Amino acid sequence: MSGTVRRAGDGAPLAGQRIQVWAHTTEGHERDARSHGATLTDKNGVFRLEMPQIVPAFGQAHGHLAYDSGDFDTVFLRPVMKSARDTTLEAHFVLQPA
């Protein structure tokens, strides 16, 4: 999974923001260690987290991503993959100051 994190209003990239990721994968359910994790954005507001292949759950291959570190309002995203055969998933956050 990969994506960007930007500030609402001016679109500035936000470095050092923690993004949590979880999904049903070929190696387990969302709660299993290999199927969730967290990562920080780089200086350009970009994040990336390698994980096993996402598989359908409740009929759709999808991921869950969250920002909840406190400097900005909490955001939860649930992007759906076009196909269960896709091997990448992107999500883009625009954060509003808390």
pLDDT for position 65: 96
Domains of the chain, start order? 2-95 (2.60.130.10)
Which regions of 1-98 does DSSP assign to beta strands (E)? 2-7, 18-22, 36-40, 46-48, 56-57, 60-61, 64-67, 75-77, 90-95
Spans in the chain with pLDDT lower than 70: none
Compute the CA torsion angle 18, 24, 30, 35 (nearest 10 deg): -60
The first and second tokens of residue 60, run together, are 């759709």
Find, among 40, 33, 44, the residue nearest to 7 by Cα. 44
pLDDT in tens, 3-21: 999 999 999 999 999 999 9
